[in-house]
Structure 1
Amino acid sequence: MANRIWRLIGLIAGAVSLLAITACSPLKMLNALTPDGTFDRTEGIAYGSDPRQKLDVYVPHHPMVNAPVVVFFYGGSWNSGSRSDYSFVGEALASRGMVAVLADYRLYPQVRYPQFLEDAAGAVAWTHDHIRQYAGNPQRLYLMGHSSGAYNVAMLALDPGLLGAVGLSPHDLRGWIGLAGPYDFLPIKNPDVRPVFFWPDSPPQSQPINHVSRGAPPALLMASTDDDVVNPTRNTGGLALKLREAGVPVQDLYFSRTGHATLVAALSRPMRGLAPVLDEVTSFVRATPPQ
C-alpha cells in the first residue's frame, strides 16, 4: 500500500512539473486529492465590480479566536490563473488554523502594470475590512504569493502607494511570504511578460527590489535551487540581501527537491514531503505577534 502511495505521489510530481505546458490539469489533480474536511469555504465574494475581482475565504472548521489571516495570490505570468485552481492552498492554510483568502485579479490583455496590483490592493482592503466576519483578525494580516503572485505581494508590502490608495499601509501587514517570486527582472526576457510591463520601456518602479525601505514588514522568501523559470539567486537572494541591508527582518530558504511549480504544490497534502513549505509558513505566522 505504501509503495502505491509513493508511486502516485511521484506521478503527481511529474505532472505538476509540466505545469507550464499543460495548463491547469496538474492543479486540478492536486485539488481532487485534497480533503475538504478541514475548512468551510465562502466562494465568489466581490471586492470590486469586474467579474475578475472576486475572492474565496477558507475558514478552519474550528477556528481559534482572532485567527491569523493570509491573503494568497497565484502566479501565471499575469496572463492566466484562477483562484479555484488553488483550493489546495486554502486547505493547507486552514488546516494550520489560518483563515485563507484566495483572490482573483484582472490579467493581461485586459489590464497591464500596475492595474493588477490595484486589484490586489483592493482584495487586501476587503479582507482588512471584513475578515472579522469569518473569525479572522485584521491585525494579524499576512500576504502570500507564488511566482507572479509573489511579485504582487512584494509590491504591496514594499511600495506604500499601492496600499495607500485603498486606505491602508504596509504597516498594516504583519508580514509577507514569497514563493519563487520575480523581484528584479529587468530587462524582461520572457516574451509573454514583456507587453504586461510595456517592454522595452518597462518602468524601473515596477521592480520590488527598488522599493525596499527600513519600514517594510518582515518577509519569508522561499525558492527552489533548480528553478529554471525565475532565477533564485538574483530574485530571492538579491531581495533578501537588500532587505537585510535595510534592517528588515527576512528569512530566505532554498529547497533542492522542488522546481518552480512544485514549490507551491508542496503545500498540498500529496506533495508535502517535497519541502517543508507549509511548516515554514506556519512557523513564520505564529512567530509574529499581533499588532
Structure 2
Amino acid sequence: MKTQKVWFVTGASKGLGLTLVKQLLNTGAKVAATSRSIADLKKAVDFSGDQFLPLAVNLTSEESVADAIEKTIGTFGQLDVVVNNAGYGMTGALEELSDAEARTNFDVNVFGSLNVIRKALPHLRQQQSGHIINISSVGGFYGMFPGFGIYCATKFAVDGFTEALSEEVKPFGIHATIVSPGYFRTEFLNPTSLSMPQNPIDAYKLVRDSEALHLSQIKGNQPGDPEKGASAIIKLADVENPPLHLFLGEDAYNMAYAKIDAVKRDLESWKDVTVSTGF
C-alpha cells in the first residue's frame, strides 16, 4: 500500500496555496499548512481531521519557522514535500519604491523561503529523500512588466537559488522544482496580496497604466484555473524525475519563449562583441 506523503505548505490561507491544501487533504495526504493567522487558516481550509496541522508562522523569523518544522515532524513523523508558496505582489517603479518597501518584499518572498529551506533540509538529508517546490512566477523569468520590478526581482532570486539548490541536494536524493505560474484567478491582485507604492511619482504614467490594467481588466479575468494549477503541483511529487522548471499557464509558456527568443536575438546580434573579450 502506498504511503501518503507529508506536505508542508506555506501561505495556505488563500490563493493557490489554499487550493493546494484542500486538494491534498482530499487525497488523504498529511498536510502541515502555515499562515500568519491560524484563525484565518482554519476558517479557510475548514477541515477537522488529524491529517491537517494548521500552524501560525512568521516566515521572517528563523525561530518561528524552526518551531513549525519541528511540530510537523513531531506530529507526522516525517516530512516529504515542502512548498514555499507564501509571498505577495508589489507594484511601483524602482525610483518610487523606498528601500524599506523593497526589502520587506524580499524578506517575505525570498528570505522567508530560505528560512524554510534551511530548517527543512536537515530532515530531508537525514532521510535521503524529499522534494522542495518553490512557487515563483513567470515574472521570475520574464521581467518586462513596468511597475513590477521589485516583485520580479524577488522571483528572479527564487529561480536563481532554486537552480543552485537543485544541484546541491541531488546527492541526497532530494529534488527541487521552480513552479512559475502565469496569471491565475486568485486573490493575488487584491489589496491584501498586492502592495502599492506609498509615494508614487506622477511622471511614471506607464507604471500607473500598468497598475490600472491589472486592477481593472486583468483582475477577475485571469486565464489560469487554480484547481488545475494545484493538481499540476501535486503531480510533481508523484514522478520519479520531476522537472527543475514547470511553467503553468499558456500565457506563462508564451512569455517564457518570448524571453528565450529575445535573449537569442541579443546573443547573435552582439556575438562579435561577446566573444572578442577574452585574452
Please indicate, yes or no, whether the TM-score normalized by the shorter chain is above 0.5.
no
TM-score, structure 1 as length reference: 0.37
More strand by share: 1
TM-score, structure 2 as length reference: 0.39
